[in-house]
Amino acid sequence: MQVFVLDKHKKPLMPCHPARARELLGNGKAVVHKMAPFAIRLKERIGGEVQPVRIKLDPGSKTTGLALVREEILVSPETGETEKTAHVLGLVELEHRGGKIRDRLAARRAFRRRRRSNLRHRTPRFDNRTKPEGWLAPSLQHRVDTTVAWVNRFRKLVPVAALSQELVRFDMQKMENPETSGALYQQGTLAGYEVREYLLEKWGRSCAYCGAENAPLEVDHIHPRSRGGSDRISNLTLACRPCNERKGSNPVETFLARRPEVLARVLSRAKAPLRDASAVNATRWALFRSLTQTGLPVEQASGGRTKWNRTRFGLPKSHCLDAACVGKVDRIEGGNRPVLSIKATGRGSYQRTRLDSFGFPRGILTRKKAHFGFATGDLVRAVVTTGKKIGTYVGRLAVRASGSFNLQAGSGLVQGISHKVCRLLQRADGYGYSLATPNRKESAFLPGINAGLSIAHRG
């Protein structure tokens, strides 16, 4: 991932290569401005020539992909046709915590209901609890607010000139005949297109019966149509040709009678709700309205174009690469960059009483959040020179009043780190960061800390 660069007055300049940033830090011409995302600030330069950068977004229910690209438009002198090349400057995957918010609100509602059941009857107050227009549930509003917040953060680090968002679904049938509806629409040009795409995601692009991957898959009815089965999405699955032929018109209970564990898995997954799809549909227009309020031009793109771009470029399926493929683009360069993973962790809780599984108090938390100058979530570097934990660790802290902290590093959780060996790198901001390289699945904590910043902190 490119390193963000600011001038002397903290105005964004064009990002540079990590080797160039390491050179500037080593020569004393720049200082570290921010650790995550990693940014440097030049000591002497004021202003300079910049190129417009576009932020592309692929909103998702659990993870939103963001891509920072520099667009280059070339015009052919012979034909006059234009070719748009997207030079990827950074790939980001933003992991939301909407599920945790939903679960905590459900638990709070249950605790409150139990407490009120022990009190005398109170007059209902639902008449003055009207919701304003455009209201979203807190778990959904969090997705919108977090995405917009990171768009605004990147605007402070790079010269952003435009935005792109995957907003609408690919629906050529409606484009050809807007008046088409009912059964005619269901059996039109796109009959089965959206269904197959959804089934591929739902069943993990593998056979539901044998688990075969990288094989041609066919849509199969769990309860056969010849026995009264419907075409509803809950009655459809994916099967390879051998499994589909062996199953034939037999009910799934007969076909999997000797494999009860597979039968239970197929039936449970078939009834899985469309919760993720509903979350995206409920928030996409709210996100679009919030992006337009930034004052930047917002390009609307379709999911069909995104998939078409990704297929012809030969890119793997991921949220951040989908974001790079959003909108009109003829070529993508730099798509193999490491991915900065940002996980929304929250800033703590106002709740001072810990509860058991039944909602009864089991412990009281202290009012003091910081101990020995550190708070939970702070990014620190710990250099341990004695004992069983000798080494250098970089990660997020979980503080205790005793001064013995836990540190979540890229290699795992390290317990019992003394506050005396910790050095603060960045205050907690409600997010956790990790950098995933394209060639391996594990993540190294934060971009450039172990390599580039060793020069910056020397001496």
Q: What confidence category does residue 119 fall into, taking pLDDT thresholds of 50, 70 and 90?
A: low
The candidate with the shortest Cα–Cα distance to 434, out of 32, 98, 142, 94, is 94
* Distance from C-alpha of 324 to C-alpha of 90, rounded to nearest angstrom: 10
The answer to whether 90 touches 67, Cβ cutoff 8 Å, is yes
Which pLDDT belongs to residue 450?
38
Q: What confidence category does residue 447 fall into, taking pLDDT thresholds of 50, 70 and 90?
A: very low
* Distance from C-alpha of 455 to C-alpha of 180, rounded to nearest angstrom: 65
Which pLDDT belongs to residue 36?
87
At which of 270, 305, 340 does a domain end?
270
At which of 227, 251, 270 does a domain end?
270
Q: Is the pLDDT of residue 351 over 70?
A: yes
* Distance from C-alpha of 55 to C-alpha of 93, rounded to nearest angstrom: 13
Q: What is the CATH number of the domain that holds 250?
A: 1.10.30
Residue 359 lies in a domain: no
Q: What is the CATH number of the domain that holds 391?
A: 2.30.30
The answer to whether 59 touches 165, Cβ cutoff 8 Å, is yes
If you average pLDDT over residues 35-40, what whole number do you get?
91
Residue 234 lies in a domain: yes
Residue 293 lies in a domain: no
DSSP calls for 18-50: HHHHHHHHHTTSEEEEETTTTEEEESS------
Q: Is the pLDDT of residue 449 over 80?
A: no
Residue 24 lies in a domain: no
Domain that residue 243 falls in = 191-270
Alpha helices in 193-240 (DSSP H): 193-202
Q: What confidence category does residue 156 fall into, taking pLDDT thresholds of 50, 70 and 90?
A: very high
If you average pLDDT over residues 171-188, what whole number do you get?
45
Is the pLDDT higher at 43 or at 109?
Answer: 43
For 202-254, strand residue ranges (E) read: 217-221, 236-240
Q: Is the pLDDT of residue 457 over 50?
A: no
Residue 144 lies in a domain: no
Which pLDDT belongs to residue 442?
42
Q: Looking up tokens 């798509």, which residue turns up?
A: 335
Which pLDDT belongs to residue 455?
33
**65-107 residue pLDDT tens:** 999 999 988 887 777 788 889 999 999 999 999 989 998 898 8
Q: What confidence category does residue 169 fall into, taking pLDDT thresholds of 50, 70 and 90?
A: low
Domain count, the chain: 2
At which of 237, 270, 303 does a domain end?
270
pTM, rounded to two decimals: 0.76
Is the pLDDT higher at 351 or at 21?
Answer: 21
**354-376 residue pLDDT tens:** 888 777 788 887 788 889 999 98
* Distance from C-alpha of 375 to C-alpha of 457, rounded to nearest angstrom: 22
Residue 297 lies in a domain: no
Residue 163 lies in a domain: no
**213-263 residue pLDDT tens:** 888 899 899 999 888 888 877 888 999 999 999 999 898 999 999 899 999
CA atoms within 13 A on the CB side of 111: 15
**265-291 residue pLDDT tens:** 898 888 776 667 777 878 888 999 999
Residue 33 lies in a domain: no
Mean of per-residue pLDDT scores for the chain = 83
Which pLDDT belongs to residue 38?
92
